[in-house]
Amino acid sequence: MNNEIQEKLEKLALKKSIPFCIGCYREAPTKICPSCGSDDLARFVRAEGMGWGTDWIIRSIVESELTPVNVDAAFENSVRSCYEENVSVLWMTLDAVTVAKEMDPISWDIAKSEWLSQEEGEGIITTFDNGASYFWCHELEKLLDAE
């Protein structure tokens, strides 16, 4: 993910959260706790909780606002666009993608993993949870433009 998108996400996370003093257990909207004077503050999001940093807030915003990529379907569509032809085996005419997926599932999974890596490297998709789910970058950019 490029730095511009990351910066916009961090600004959005700060905008949607409130500084919070864990020691006094109270909000500190001025970025300094009114009780103890601390500026070492966590972030608080109503109905979500509190924590340090903005990564958890960004993940929460993205997961609530966007639909994760169906990686299996997206990869299959990508392969289909490259291999549109059918395969003839004896008297049967079969879809090339289905044949590849069913005849060599290990190779299919390796190719899918390489495709994911390439798509992420090119900034087409991104993940916030180390690959458990992916999101389209163009949808992420739309979300940020709307904010």
Residue 1 has pLDDT above 70, yes or no: no
| Mean pLDDT of all residues belonging to the chain | 90
Q: What is the residue whose two structure tokens read 């511009």? A: 4
**Amino acid 46: pLDDT:** 87
Q: What is the sign, positive or negative, of the torsion defined by CA atoms of 40, 44, 49, 54?
A: negative
| pLDDT digits 0-9 by tens, 120-140 | 999 899 988 888 899 999 999
Map out the domains of the chain as residue ranges. Answer: 3-65, 71-146
| pLDDT digits 0-9 by tens, 16-64 | 999 999 888 989 989 899 888 888 899 999 888 889 988 899 988 898 8
**Amino acid 131: pLDDT:** 84
Residues forming a β-bridge with 43? 19, 51
Distances (CA, A) of 99 to 9, 62, 104: 41, 35, 8
Tell me which residue of 10, 29, 11, 7 sits closest to 20, measured CA to CA. Answer: 29
